[in-house]
Structure 1
Amino acid sequence: MSLKRTPLRDFHAEHGARLVDFAGWEMPVQYRSILEEHKAVRHAAGLFDVSHMGEFEVQGPQARALLDHLVTNDVSKMSPGRVLYTPMCYERGTVIDDLLIYMRSEEDFLLCVNAGNIDKDLAWIRERAAAFGGTDSDHGAVSITDRSADTALLALQGPAAAAILQPLTAAPLDALRYYHFTTGQVAGIDCVISRTGYTGEDGFELYHASGAAVDLARALLDAGRPHGLELAGLGARDSLRLEAGYPLYGHEISDTISPLTGGLGWTVKLDKAADFIGRAALLVEKQQGSAQRLVFFKTGDRRIVRAEAPVFGAGEAGGAGAGAAGGESCGRGGAAVGRVASGTLSPILGEAIGTALVSAAAAASARSGTAPLWVDIRGTRLDLQLVKAPFVTLKKTS
């Protein structure tokens, strides 16, 4: 099966990108170096093509009510110009997807969903819209329109992002707060200008017509070169989001992991007025406690701890006296207490970092210092030093 392509596919090839299969899309994983692209975003700016993401319009008198029923966060408190991050859950409380909701007016919302979940999300939303007078026409109580093929999305991220973008637009960026958006032209191209991103840095996401993507990318790249702007691929995007402590669907949250288990309890508004899908299951989990916990860790070692690697408690496989990071080899017996969800090398810290889903008891013991968590890297024990996210100091705007 042939891979889908964003409007910038040839632009990426022209600039030396290494293209890979990502969720069925041919996407740039890196240009020159993941390390340098990552550092550029932390110290200057990076430009990402995220046009593979999906966009849906939800419109009509019942649009807000439908969305408040679908997601765990509180849509009723939104106002025009606001952006809301939220999971969307199954009845059992696990996550269908995590998405952004843009409120354009009382009856007009734009959703941004993950690329690999576009078809699943669209079917789920349309099925549940029927109870709210949903229709495919433009005149019903609520309509859902897939704009994914018509829309391209560029992310300009880093402390220099505003300085790069402002000369290209009349929109007053200083007045645009974090998780707010406006509309305007950028380099003569109509855009939704959103002060959001997936790196933990200040930055903007620019939604625009697919046919204008190449012109906009060239204009941003030209404007950004004096500021140290680098083209950045999916490799840096992943290491940046992990340093920032942001979840990735299929890793920290998924159709088997609830937002409470995945550390997103702040997005679950159990007391909001709308009775949302998954509320009953999440209320039980909140009252009884999650069986597993998501923990963030670093190792003091440069060897990457890969996703799905088993996580052990002290004494379970190598004896309580097994060596610390870089120490003696451990045994093979015993049962794991969880698994690694994500892992990478932090270019800023110079050591491996990651997340792990472990039993609630093991997480509590590790946090108290009574029973450290550890992994086996080719026969060598590496202790996991539990930390709070983010891993690095972030400079996003308030």
Structure 2
Amino acid sequence: MALGKRTPLFDVYKDQSKTIDFGGWDLPVQFSGIKDEHEAVRTKAGLFDVSHMGEVEVKGSGAIPFLQYVLTNDVEKLKVNGAQYTAMCYHEGGTVDDLVYYKREENDFLLVVNASNVDKDFDWLSSQAENFDNVEVVNVSDQFAQVAIQGPLAEEVLQKSTDTDLSEITFFKFRDQVDIGGMKALVSRTGYTGEDGFEIYCKPEDAAGLWNLLLETGEADGLKPCGLGARDTLRFEARLALYGQELTKDISPIEAGIGFAVKTDKEADFIGKSVLKDQKENGAPRKLVGLEMIDKGIPRTDYAVFVNDEEIGFVTTGTQSPTLKKNVGLALVDKAHTAIGTEVEVQVRKRRLKAEVVATPFYKRSN
């Protein structure tokens, strides 16, 4: 069987973790165990290899008009050293991808896209750029490795290895060329866990040194290496969308509940604007809701959801929440059945089990 692509950190942790194929990458699903790693991030800190994510540079005097056209958020409001979460849509309103982008200089942006979408996103961006002057779009994914340190002690742990005052890097801001143990990196206060933390972009050849340095300096604080399993349960509890589940070419950002990243009031036209504006103003036909099981069972991805024998939607993600110790899920359902307290049924194998629509996120940090 052909091996998947490997990050620069694979050889560092291959003997300490269980790896799986994820979007064509050979990545760790767990180290000490999903629940153990999940708890470490919620209470102390965890370290993730996210080098499989893709990076695309967009540069030139036409970069801002171009990005205003292909992204749903308002690029003109972003200042240098700021980051922004956004979606990229098709003309029909479905989602090409969701991503974070960084403004490094006035006409210099770094887009960080989902690993499974790198080629598709790059092709999409390149094709749209043909209609704009003075825009350069370059896939620079092989120039970066990325690790994420997440959890309430993340700043404390990372601060031991840098003279840069990390408290000055506030939420969705970043600093480039930060010295971490002699290695230069872009450090942003972002993450995908619902906790405080940082995502660190470094040269591939520095990744192993950075990984080992952080684990060594963070050991006394309870920092643990974490895999994809905990990353998924953490982001799910915080109701952070996963492309391919909560977002697809057939699911709009409005339906998925990330309308805050869709600025239909910005002056610039953007791809999908008319559809998304209508959904924002008049309501989307479907809506992502939280489900909590009443009967015993776990709502898994793609399980059908019913009301009175009528199929009203499907589960996008579901599991037993490690924090809540409850069987919960996210489901995309017809808007008529989205009120909190609505009782529905989830098709779990051959049985329909009762569940209730509940508020989300399932978890929100207190500070």
SS of residue in 1 equivalent to 2:245: coil
Cα displacement string for residues 224-276 of structure 1 (whole angstroms, at most 9, x for unaligned residues): 10000111000000000001110000111110000111111111111102101
CA contact (8 A) 1:301 1:352 kept: no
CA contact (8 A) 2:86 2:98 kept: yes
Deviation, structure 1 residue 310: 0.7
When structure 1 is superposed on structure 2, of 254-263 and 286-295 the one drifting more is 286-295
Indicate how the Cα distance of structure 1 residues 84 and 226 shifts in structure 2: closer, same or farther if over 3 A, else same.
same
CA distance in 1, matches of 2:322, 2:295: 12
CA contact (8 A) 2:90 2:272 kept: yes
CA distance in 2, matches of 1:84, 1:125: 18
TM-score normalised by structure 2 residue count:
0.96
SS of residue in 2 equivalent to 1:4: coil
CA contact (8 A) 1:87 1:99 kept: yes
Match of 2:365 in 1: 394
Match of 2:118 in 1: 118
The count of aligned residue pairs is: 365
> Computing the radius of gyration over CA atoms, which structure comes out larger, 1 or 2?
1
Cα displacement string for residues 151-179 of structure 1 (whole angstroms, at most 9, x for unaligned residues): 00000000010010001011111111110
CA distance in 2, matches of 1:93, 1:75: 19
In the alignment, structure 1 residue 385 sits paired with structure 2 residue 356: yes
Match of 1:305 in 2: 299
CA distance in 2, matches of 1:246, 1:72: 17
CA distance in 1, matches of 2:191, 2:294: 28
Match of 1:363 in 2: 338
Letter in 1 for 2:359: K
CA contact (8 A) 1:302 1:351 kept: no
Deviation, structure 1 residue 285: 2.5
RMSD of equivalent CA atoms: 1.5
CA contact (8 A) 1:159 1:395 kept: no
In the alignment, structure 1 residue 21 sits paired with structure 2 residue 21: yes
Deviation, structure 1 residue 381: 4.6
CA contact (8 A) 1:69 1:274 kept: yes
Between the two proteins, what is the percent identity of the paired residues? 44
CA distance in 2, matches of 1:102, 1:301: 45
TM-score normalised by structure 1 residue count:
0.89
CA distance in 1, matches of 2:295, 2:111: 40
Deviation, structure 1 residue 56: 1.0
Match of 1:255 in 2: 249
CA contact (8 A) 2:295 2:354 kept: no
Indicate how the Cα distance of structure 1 residues 302 and 28 shifts in structure 2: closer, same or farther if over 3 A, else same.
farther
Runs of 4+ in 1 over 6 A off after TM superposition: none
CA distance in 1, matches of 2:300, 2:268: 40
CA distance in 1, matches of 2:206, 2:295: 44
Cα displacement string for residues 201-230 of structure 1 (whole angstroms, at most 9, x for unaligned residues): 000000000111101000000011000011
Indicate how the Cα distance of structure 1 residues 302 and 163 shifts in structure 2: closer, same or farther if over 3 A, else same.
farther
In the alignment, structure 1 residue 373 sits paired with structure 2 residue 344: yes
CA distance in 2, matches of 1:291, 1:300: 26
Deviation, structure 1 residue 380: 5.0
Match of 1:245 in 2: 239
